[in-house]
Amino acid sequence: MYKVLEKKSLTPKAFIIEIEAPHLTKAGPGQFAVIQRTLESERIPLSILETTDKGAKFLVEVRGRSTLELEVRLNESREIAYVEGPAGVPFEVKNYGRVLLLSKNWGIAPIINVGRALSECGNKISAIHVGDTSENVYLINELESFSGSVRVFTEDGSVEEGNVQLAFRDYIDCAGKPDLVVCAGNNLDSSLVVDVCREEGISVVSMVNTYMLDTIGLCLVCRLLVNDEQKLACVDGPWFNGLEVNWDYLLARENLYEDEEKQALEKFLKQLEREKLRSRR
Ligand code: FES
């Protein structure tokens, strides 16, 4: 069993956990881990927010059954049955020059992890974070701690209204073209960012989001096409040259298990309701 050393709420939708897992302390920038709350639980790939001297911290955004289970059950028991990693290929950290970080929702966690390493390597960092709503705006202070400028938007206008693509175009108009764009958090937004980068001749590294089952390269669920070759997000990624990713293929596979996910969430919500009723008796 792995101890959860800290669980801190950020917004009603998001929280941070620190897990005691010595094998994660040396994880590279942009890597992820796979956690299972119990051995019967789903495996959840989570981007590492930062490594600590005892393990690693993760941002968890409640988006479906498994993340809701974590939110609810970790309040009852601060233990995780299984923690695997670090997984994936670390981000290539070197001096690119002026780097613009673009994050959507939970994508701010891997962006902070990578951005901090890029800043320590001498890059000049600017950042833009976009949330669906203000409940997806968090960790801005961390982003500011290594960035020369940070702008925050929400799509519903609860903070300054904006979306990733418009904010990116506005950045280019005001500050000129960066040497590198790094984006994470949402495949559709990343694909639109890549369109702008292609038009403007800007290099871009994107984190891809895929379903992941075994995370060791056997199930092929996380496959994508990069330069017309099949790659696996779990072992070859999750960071790729955005200009080489076939985004249409990736987006077409994005909702493969949508129905199953909906059913699993409904079932879990019913279970929570039953537990609530039972506890009142
Ligand atoms: S998660 Fe199974 S091959 Fe990547």
Last residue of a domain, one of 87, 113, 132: 87
Q: Is 34 in the pocket of ligand 1 (CB under 6 A)?
A: no
Domain for residue 267, yes or no? Answer: no
* Rounded-to-integer distance, Cα 245 and Cα 12, Å: 34
Number of the ligand 1 atom closest to the C-alpha atom of 232: 4
Contact partners, residue 18, CB within 8 Å, separation at least 6: 4, 5, 6, 52, 54, 55, 56, 57, 58
Question: Is position 280 within any domain?
Answer: no
84, 108, 106: which is closest to 32 by C-alpha? 84
- pLDDT, residue 184, reads 97
Same domain for 116 and 63, yes or no, is no
Which amino acid is located at 14 in the chain?
A
Say if residue 253's pLDDT is above 80.
Answer: yes
Any domain includes 92: no
Domain boundary among 188, 207, 226: 207
Show the domain range for 150. Answer: 98-207
pLDDT cut 90: percent of the chain above it? 78
| Amino acid at position 98, single letter | R
Q: Are 165 and 196 in contact (CB under 8 A)?
A: yes
pTM: 0.93
Mean pLDDT of the chain, nearest integer = 94
In a shared domain, residues 83 and 172 = no
pLDDT of residue 182: 98
Q: Name the domain boundary from 158, 188, 207.
A: 207
pLDDT at 187: 96
Residue 77 — very low, low, confident or very high, per pLDDT cuts 50/70/90?
confident
Query: Can you give the pLDDT at residue 63?
Result: 85
Q: Whose CA is nearest to atom 3 of ligand 1?
A: 217
76 shares its domain with 122: no
CA atoms within a 13 Å half-sphere pointing along the CA-CB vector of 250: 29
C-alpha–C-alpha distance, residues 3 and 132, integer Å:
32
Task: Please report, for the domain that includes residue 14, its CATH number.
Answer: 2.40.30.10
Is the pLDDT at 75 greater than 80? The verdict is no
- The tally of domains found in the chain comes to 2
Residue type, 248: D
Gap from CA of 114 to ligand 1 centroid (Å): 23
Flag whether 154 is in a domain. yes
C-alpha of residue 220 to centroid of ligand 1, in Å: 5
Mean pLDDT of 222-241: 96
Both 111 and 166 in a single domain? yes
Please tell me the predicted confidence (pLDDT) of residue 213. Answer: 87
- In a domain, residue 276? The reply is no
The answer to whether residues 71 and 30 belong to one domain is yes
Same structural domain for residues 128 and 186?
yes
Can you give the pLDDT at residue 245? 97
CA-proximal residue: ligand 1, atom 2 (nearest):
219
The CATH number covering residue 119 comes to 3.40.50.80
Q: Counting atoms of ligand 1 from 1, which one is nearest the CA of 211?
A: 1
Q: Are residues 80 and 103 in the same domain?
A: no
Distance separating alpha carbons of residues 218 and 93, to the nearest angstrom: 28
Identify the band that residue 99 occupies on the pLDDT scale cut at 50, 70 and 90. very high
pLDDT score, position 130: 96
pLDDT digits (tens, 9 = 90+) for 117-147: 999 999 999 999 999 999 999 999 999 999 9
